[in-house]
Structure 1
Amino acid sequence: MQVKVKGFSLIEVMVSLVILVIGLIGIFNLHIVAKQGSFESFQQTQASYYANDIVNRMRMNPSELNNYEGTYNGGTSAPTKACDVGIGGNTICTNIETRLWDIYQWERSFQGENEKSSGANVGGLDSTTACININDRDVTVVMTWRGIRASTDGLSEGSTFAKSCGTSSNRRRALVINTAIL
């Protein structure tokens, strides 16, 4: 007489658990990669904002256009005169004072000074270097920063000017904007 046993054996349960654990590990790794990709995308968006910000500041001060040229990494000291104009404000700045204030504010922005947590800068980009080149009225703005994971150098195929902006590494990310200011 044969006895039929119904249900799962312990081996079948163990095999099912191993398969479940392998699947969960894959999902967790996918989540980590997705978060890193999302952060890299966020950094690219910020770099685009900062590059367009300085281009717009230059458009508002065209007589000083050629003097915006240079390499910036957050080391500019505060100018003697603040040129923020608010509603009802009566601050009048020369074009030179405006340029100095523009560069100072711009550097503070991409260094993350506008967002703080416990007194430390938490906004901006990591290890940012920004370079501006002006040829007649053609403007090139290069933003470089350190990405979260190793990849290829963000400017391995860039122009000579762009390649000279920031420190070459496998984590360097870059955004290059070319425009004309008339």
Structure 2
Amino acid sequence: MKYQAINKQQGIGLIEVLITILVIAIGLLGLAGMQAQSMKSTYQSGQRSQAIWMAQELAERMRANPSAVSNQHYLNAINTVRAEISANPGSDKPCSTPSKACDATNTCNDEQLARYDAWDLFCADASTTPLPRVNPYLVCTPTSCADGSDIHITLEWEEAQTSFQRTTKTTGSGSDNPTVELIIRLEG
């Protein structure tokens, strides 16, 4: 019996090359997606760290000025700052400058110091503020802010949106923005 020689394939066929390119392209797209998600998570983590720092800084300033807390000067100052930030979105200077700069060269009363602390933390220069568009909230339980009451410091901020995240998400509270809450108790 005579066998005919079959032409042996030499090299790679075009179909195999196309399949290889397709598999590599899908893999590279997956890597790009993971990199984008990693960058987003890193940015969000940095924002959360800054929010925690800002809440702790406000708590320390309140501990240093307990009479302004019990007289609700911090509560009023934070409410004023939040209203000014909401009224001037996107502005580099969303808040009015306090009448007196309470630094080492100026002496201030409790109310002036509370106003300056709120302005310094959340408004001093919005272009360099670690959390742009931050909304501070301060709630005392009970509402009198007396010695021994719990003080809830809550910071809410808007995350920067990427070009593919243009949809708005809301929850039952009306907002899906990230928040940090710190609860402190000042003992007199």
TM-score bracket, normalised by the shorter chain, equals 0.7 to 0.9
1:130-145 equivalence runs, <5 A: 130-135=136-141, 136=146, 137-145=149-157
Shift of 1:8: 1.2
User: What does the per-residue CA deviation read over 1:44-88, in whole Å, with 9 as the maximum and x for residues that have no partner?
Assistant: 111111111111110111111132114332724222221122xxx
Contact 1:74 1:108 in 2 (8 A): no
State the SS of the aligned residue for 2:184. Answer: strand
* Equivalent residue number for residue 177 of structure 1: 182
TM (norm. structure 2) is 0.73
Shift of 1:122: 5.2
Contact 2:122 2:134 in 1 (8 A): no
Contact 2:157 2:178 in 1 (8 A): yes
* Equivalent residue number for residue 31 of structure 1: 35
TM (norm. structure 1) is 0.75
Shift of 1:153: 5.4
Gaps of 5+ in 2: 85-94
Name the count of aligned residue pairs.
157
Contact 2:123 2:129 in 1 (8 A): no
Larger Rg: 2
1:43-62 equivalence runs, <5 A: 43-62=47-66
Q: Following the alignment from structure 2 to structure 1, what is the Cα–Cα distance between the partners of residues 26 and 56?
A: 45
* Equivalent residue number for residue 98 of structure 1: 113
What is the alpha-carbon root mean square deviation over aligned residues? 2.4
Shift of 1:96: 2.4
1:115-130 equivalence runs, <5 A: 121=127, 123-130=129-136
* Equivalent residue number for residue 64 of structure 1: 68
User: What does the per-residue CA deviation read over 1:138-168, in whole Å, with 9 as the maximum and x for residues that have no partner?
Assistant: 21001111134579758x6xxxxxx6xxxx2
State the SS of the aligned residue for 2:178. Answer: strand
Contact 1:74 1:107 in 2 (8 A): no
* Equivalent residue number for residue 122 of structure 2: 107
Shift of 1:125: 2.2
Q: Following the alignment from structure 1 to structure 2, what is the Cα–Cα distance between the partners of residues 52 and 138?
A: 15
> Whose strand proportion is higher, 1 or 2?
1
